[in-house]
């Protein structure tokens, strides 16, 4: 397995076509590097394109000292950056997307290149084969998948070794436990767990009174309806109580729980503030006991609301 330490997710820095606090976000990424962070995650679809451009600028002075992950796979018009809807992992699209990412990131290689979502219309062997060619050309170093199911992981890995799967995994999203984690352990593939803080909910700072602005995708997620957030508050209360024993925040407990699951599971967190970054990294000093983990399991708290709208859910675990 490739060791991937404490990577921050840069997605939230460019979900619209504008990053109004771009200088501050560049400073934050550089501060993270100064504090030991060396792996940064982005994607062509974030913006699209604004995020990769910002990440490339931020990391240019230390490019040889960091690892950058990006992703292809959504149906992005490669000439305009318009998201045309749906997925597209045809070989020509993959090549065009990777060339664009290289240009925007200001680099001649991508450390880890993920297929962002499985394309049901393109054989996985064709996807993996195209990335294999890009690896042979030196444009990509490692191949990853995102939100892929067990069969797709096996098929891809048979064509080109997969070093990492990026999927949502946290105390309130346990789906990978059903089948995927077993396959990853068998094949020696690491899990990069995105949204380890439940897209902010597990920090305890969101509740039924929270409102989201027009650029915040959470406003369209069933799990963030007022009713679902009120019902799911029980989980936050539980981890808050556990955190009190250690002088830890709910966010730190959520991250510590993830770190306690498997040594090859890495939380992928994101933040816009340095103090939140430092809080998250502080989870490394929190060691949950077996009794703590058993208490969480015994509570058997049912999470209300789907994590994504139906269209996105249909693209998960294919």
> Which of the residues are catalytic?
46
The answer to whether the beta carbons of residues 9 and 194 sit under 8 Å apart is yes
**Is residue 110 helix, strand or coil?**
strand
- The Cα–Cα gap between 174 and 303 comes to 10
Within a 10 A sphere around the Cβ of 237, how many other Cβ atoms? 12
Q: In this structure, is the dihedral angle defined by the CA atoms of residues 177, 179, 180 and 185, taken in order, positive or negative?
A: positive
**Alpha carbons 311 and 146: distance in angstroms, whole number:** 16
From start to end of 80-199, where are the E strands?
Answer: 83-87, 110-115, 140-146, 162-168, 190-194
CB atoms within 10 A of CB 182: 12
């Amino acid at each position: 397995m490739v060791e991937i330490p404490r990577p921050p997710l840069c997605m939230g820095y460019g979900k619209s076509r504008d990053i109004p606090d771009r200088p501050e976000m560049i400073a934050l990424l550089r501060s993270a590097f100064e504090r030991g962070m060396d792996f940064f995650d982005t994607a062509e679809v974030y913006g699209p394109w604004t995020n990769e451009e910002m990440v490339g600028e931020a990391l240019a002075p230390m490019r040889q000292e960091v690892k950058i992950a990006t992703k292809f796979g959504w149906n992005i018009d490669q000439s305009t950056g318009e998201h045309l809807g749906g997925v597209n992992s045809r070989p020509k699209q993959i090549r065009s997307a990777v060339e664009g990412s290289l240009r925007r990131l200001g680099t001649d290689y991508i450390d880890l290149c993920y297929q962002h979502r499985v394309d049901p219309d393109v054989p996985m062997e064709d996807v993996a084969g195209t990335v294999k060619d890009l690896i042979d050309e030196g444009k990509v170093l490692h191949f990853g998948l995102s939100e892929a199911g067990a069969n797709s992981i096996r098929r891809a890995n048979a064509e080109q070794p997969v070093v990492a799967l990026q999927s949502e995994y946290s105390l309130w999203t346990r789906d990978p436990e059903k089948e995927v984690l077993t396959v990853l352990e068998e094949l020696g593939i690491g899990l990069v767990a995105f949204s380890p803080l439940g897209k902010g909910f597990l920090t305890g700072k969101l509740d039924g009174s929270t409102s989201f602005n027009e650029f915040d995708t959470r406003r369209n997620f069933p799990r963030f309806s007022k009713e679902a957030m009120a019902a799911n508050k029980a989980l936050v209360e539980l981890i808050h109580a556990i955190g009190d024993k250690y002088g830890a925040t709910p966010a730190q407990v959520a991250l510590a729980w993830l770190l306690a699951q498997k040594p090859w599971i890495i939380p992928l967190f994101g933040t816009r503030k340095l103090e939140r970054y430092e809080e998250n990294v502080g989870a490394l000093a929190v060691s949950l006991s077996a009794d703590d983990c058993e208490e969480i399991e015994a509570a058997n708290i049912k999470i209300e609301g789907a994590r994504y709208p139906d269209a996105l859910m249909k693209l998960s675990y294919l």
